[in-house]
């Protein structure tokens, strides 16, 4: 899924992952750190496609783990541009778990990530060229 805005800039993207046994804790549910890594990756892809600049994460906010994700589940991460500042882009990321055999799908985790455009020296630069 990739959606463009009226200027042709990509504002949404999604990626899919699978929860393998090495990714779960003693309860058989996805480690939170793996979920955060996937969410950050989805936010980075979305921000980079939107800006076509080098992007780095400067913040994540209000990550909510709503439901456990079980070993063997498929996970779809949907990232969407929420707000564009001068040098930053705020991305909403929604992580859905999906049962492989039944197709039952539920919102498992959601969060907000702030990405900043940087140059080769790591200094912030405008997200969109004027």
pLDDT of 6 > 60? The answer is no
Domains held by the chain: number: 1
Q: What CATH number is associated with residue 72?
A: 3.10.129.10
Q: Is residue 59 within 8 Å of 29, Cβ to Cβ?
A: no
> 58 CB contacts (<8 Å, ≥6 apart)?
88, 114, 115, 116
For residue 124, tell me if it sits in a domain.
Answer: no
Average pLDDT, stretch 84-104? Answer: 97
Residue 42 pLDDT more than 60? yes
Domain span at residue 7?
A: 2-118
Q: According to the model, what pLDDT value does residue 10 have?
A: 80
Is residue 2 predicted with pLDDT exceeding 70?
Answer: no
Give the integer Cα–Cα distance in Å for 9 and 60.
23
SS3 107: strand
Does residue 71 belong to any structural domain of this protein?
yes
């Amino acid at each position: 899924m990739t959606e463009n805005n009226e200027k042709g800039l990509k504002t949404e993207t999604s990626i899919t992952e699978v929860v393998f046994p090495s990714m779960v804790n003693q309860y058989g549910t996805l480690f939170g750190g793996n979920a955060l890594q996937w969410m950050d990756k989805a936010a980075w892809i979305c921000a980079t496609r939107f800006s076509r600049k080098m992007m780095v994460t400067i913040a994540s906010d209000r990550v909510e783990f709503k439901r456990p994700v079980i070993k063997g589940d498929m996970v779809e991460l949907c990232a969407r541009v929420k707000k564009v500042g001068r040098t930053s882009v705020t991305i909403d990321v929604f992580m859905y778990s999906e049962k492989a055999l039944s197709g039952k799908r539920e919102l498992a985790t959601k969060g907000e990530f702030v990405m900043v455009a940087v140059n080769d020296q790591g200094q912030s630069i405008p997200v969109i060229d004027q």
